[in-house]
Amino acid sequence: MNTAQDKVMTLEQAIASYVTDGCHISIGGFTVSRNPMAAVYEIVRQRKKNLHCYAHSNGTGVDELIGGGCVSRLEIAYGGNGKAAPTCIRFKLAIQRGEILFEDYSNYHMSLRFHAGAMGVPFIATLSGLGTDILNIWGFSKEMRAKDPKLPNKKAEVIDNPFGSWTGASKVVLIPAINPDVTIIHVQKADRYGTCRIEGLNFADIDQAKSAKNVIVTCEEIVDAAELREKPEYNQIPFIHVSAVVHVPHGAYPSACYNYYDYDPMYLRQLSNFAKDDKLYKEYLETFVHGVKNHRGLLNLVGQEQLKIIAADARTGYATGLDRR
């Protein structure tokens, strides 16, 4: 039911209802910005297992899901997260230790796959990746794909241009659509029915949402529908796509939420230090994730003072002069 009903619920409810063990999931944001971290930590807290995760460059969010033990299969373009983790550490370890199955694509591939899913077509064409191992080497075997109806039968397909040399292309890569069971995004503003307004870059959030069966929106502010409807052209996701709306101030923390707060370089640096050591990382999870009841609890551990330091400047939308060394 995605009609114009009130969809506001708690994060606990939303995750419990729509994120099931083994489900196919994608999260919004990109590296240090607008990861739906509150939702990610709630997934870890609820000890969800065997998630099949679709990521382009989803930074801290995906790394914490992996570190939290929730992910068994990963399709990804980029496992890096800015200065604090040029390669995401739990991602790196999980692959090196053979703990998860993984499949590599490029960022454009992944964006196009969500786009195809949102459009309701089986594939979309691109010229990216011809001649590379991204197309040659399959992380998920043909056999594994044949057995699982939730996977396309091929990683990608190269065909001759059926329109001769139209647009100058001799060959094209077709890459298969993604339709996640659930997509979670964090936005600045949403109304109670799920219509969203994203400020700053939207990354691939719009198609990630529209391609999914269920969408959980966490937001900094729940605003009146009437307010959003004054400028409908700035609302990228209409309510018809959304299943749950959750009010979570600082819901992207420790990643940034444009016009609200910056990423927290200190938290991210510390997290990287913890992540490098299994024991420290376990303690970190026990304290910061399992040890708190909800995102508010994590923010309390961080402290108001730190949140003040990363608060966004009204003119630029980020914390000007923030110490990011």
Partner 1 sequence: MDYTLKETMTIMAAREIRNGDIVFCGTGISMVAAMAAKQISAPDSIIFFETGSIDSCLEEIPLAVADPRVMFGAASNSGLLEAFATMQNPNTGDRVIGILGAAQIDKYGNLNSTCIGNYFQPKTRLSGSGGSCDVASFVSRCLIFMQHEKRKFPIKLDYLTSPGYLVGPGARERAGLKPGGPTAVITNLGVMRFDNDTKEMYLAGYYPGVTPQNILDNMEFSVDISRAIETEPPTERELKILRKRVDPQKLVL
Nearer to a second copy, 84 or 124 (CB): 124
DSSP-based three-state secondary structure for 279: helix
Among positions 6, 153, 224, 232, the unique one binding partner 1 when judged by CB under 8 A = 232
Work out the angle between the directed axes of helices 37-45 and 59-67 (0-180°, nearest 10).
10
Answer yes or no whether residue 305 interacts with partner 1 by CB under 8 A.
no
Q: Which of 50, 132, 153, 300 binds partner 1 (CB under 8 A)?
A: 132
109 makes contact with partner 1 (CB under 8 A)? yes
Minimum CB distance to partner 1 smaller for 10 or for 106 = 106
**Closest C-alpha among 173, 233, 239 to residue 6:** 239
Contact (CB, 8 A) for 268 and 32: yes
Using CB under 8 A, which residues numbered 189 to 228 contact partner 1?
193, 195, 200-207, 210-213, 225, 228
How far is Cα 271 from Cα 280, in angstroms, rounded to an integer? 10
By rule CB under 8 A, what count of residues binds partner 1?
Answer: 102
CA proximity to 250, closest of 317, 194, 186? 186
Per CB under 8 A, which of residues 22..51 are in contact with partner 1?
A: 29-34
CA angle, 237 as apex, 234 and 238 as ends, to 5°? 100
**Min CB(154)–a second copy separation in Å:** 6
Q: Which of 263, 267, 284, 288 binds partner 1 (CB under 8 A)?
A: 263
Residue 4 C-beta: closest distance to partner 1, Å: 5
Contacts of 126 (CB under 8 A, 6+ apart): 108, 109, 112, 172, 173, 175
Q: Which of 81, 188, 218, 272 binds partner 1 (CB under 8 A)?
A: 81
What is the rounded CA–CA span in Å between residue 42 and residue 255? 16
User: What is the number of residues in the chain?
Assistant: 325
Tell me which residues touch a second copy (CB under 8 A): 116-117, 119-127, 152-154, 157, 159, 161-164, 166-167, 169, 172, 174, 176-177, 179, 198-202, 233-234
Q: How far is the CB of 98 from a second copy (least distance, A)?
A: 28
With binding defined as CB under 8 A, does residue 183 bind partner 1? no
